[in-house]
Amino acid sequence: MFSPNIVKNMKLRIAIQKSGRLHDDSIKLLKECGIDINNGVNKLKTEASNFPLEVFFLRDDDIPQYVEDGVADIGIVGENVILEKNRPVKIAEKLGFGKCRLSLAVPKSVEYNSVKDMDKLRIATSYPVILQNFLNEHNITAEIHEISGSVEIAPGIGLADAICDLVSSGSTLFMNGLKEVEVILKSEAALISNDNLLPEQEVLLQKLLFRIQAVKKAKNNKYVLLNAPNDKLKEIIALLPGMKSPTVLPLAEEGWSSVHSVLNENAFWDIIESLKAAGAQGILVVPIEKMII
């Protein structure tokens, strides 16, 4: 294998968006992973003080190429960009932020029944590769107009009949008199890595992934503390999954216990309601910072 000294001197270089929608969440994620970085304004690169990580600030569109070329070892970028750029990089982990969808939209007044209605239309987009693949899959011939920004105004100025663009709240489409008719892709930010990392870099990547996964799990779970009358304990415990099983501690008041557990966000409100109905009182819900199973 390799000597621990090499690992000691080895660095991982990560590319993140310089400014834009993914910048703040990328920095926040690194911070939540316990990595201190000093991201001064207008800096193009910086170093972490407590993890062997060098950070490059780039335009998101360039990140897949930099990672493929090995200028950066890993990067954080939207899945939409990864698929559009179609570079041979690996998705190491989806990160749960920057969520959006790439959709087809047409003017509100246009009747739309199925994707076949796109046949022979002019579609404006900044995602010609993903759009062309989608059209091919559905055997549709359309004229793709590649434009780099403000795609949603294209139908209004007569440049296109439809658009294919990113949507999150839908308000941009609404304000431009458009309606979303097909979701082509659901996207979120992902950590990508070069296909040929050195073994020492792979070790560092695994270390980083371990931390990212702990942060992600913590975000999806809540720590719950509640008081339960002892005669209802069995019923209440049955409702709580916990990491192994709930912790039960006697309260100073006779006949009552304190129950501690971890609940997944998806099932959270349903379980809280059932707990109340089963006699739980004084329910406290606390965020978890890191969760290592």
Query: Residue 23 or residue 217: which is nearer to Zn ion going by CB?
Result: 23
Q: Is 219 helix (H, G, I), strand (E, B) or coil?
A: helix
The residue type found at 253 is E
Q: Is 98 one of the binding residues for ligand PRT (CB under 6 A)?
A: yes
Query: Residue 135 or residue 185: which is nearer to ligand PRT going by CB?
Result: 185
Query: Using CB under 6 A, which of 5, 171, 249, 293 touches ligand PRT?
Result: 171
Query: CA torsion 207→75→25→9, rounded to 10°?
Result: 40
Query: CA torsion 136→142→148→151, rounded to 10°?
Result: -120
Query: Using CB under 5 A, which of 61, 188, 202, 235 touches Zn ion?
Result: 61
Query: Using CB under 6 A, which of 46, 65, 172, 274 touches ligand PRT?
Result: 172
Structure tokens at 161: 């009949």
Q: Is 80 one of the binding residues for ligand PRT (CB under 6 A)?
A: yes
Q: Is 246 one of the binding residues for ligand PRT (CB under 6 A)?
A: no
Q: Is 21 one of the binding residues for Zn ion (CB under 5 A)?
A: no
Q: Is 79 one of the binding residues for Zn ion (CB under 5 A)?
A: no
Is 190:15 a contact under the CB 8 Å cutoff?
no
Find the radius of gyration of the CA atoms of the chain.
Answer: 25
Q: Is 61 one of the binding residues for ligand PRT (CB under 6 A)?
A: yes
The residue type found at 185 is L
Sign of CA dihedral 75, 77, 79, 83: negative
- Report the 10 Å Cβ neighbour count for 152: 19
Is 194:68 a contact under the CB 8 Å cutoff?
yes
Q: Which 204-243 residues touch ligand PRT, going by CB under 6 A?
A: none
Residue number closest to ligand PRT, CB atom: 78
Size of the site for Zn ion (CB under 5 A): 2
Query: Using CB under 6 A, which of 26, 103, 187, 201 touches ligand PRT?
Result: 187
Query: Using CB under 5 A, which of 13, 60, 118, 190 touches Zn ion?
Result: 60
What is the distance between the alpha carbons of residues 234 and 183, in angstroms, rounded to a whole number? Answer: 46
Is 166:173 a contact under the CB 8 Å cutoff?
no
Q: Is 86 one of the binding residues for ligand PRT (CB under 6 A)?
A: no
Query: Residue 60 or residue 165: which is nearer to Zn ion going by CB?
Result: 60
β-bridge pairing 122-125 and 162-167: parallel
Q: Which stretch binds Zn ion (CB under 5 A): 54-62, 83-91, 92-100, 129-137?
A: 54-62
* Binding-site ranges for ligand PRT (CB under 6 A): 17, 20-22, 59-61, 78, 80-81, 98, 100, 165-172, 187
Contact footprint for Zn ion (CB under 5 A): 60-61
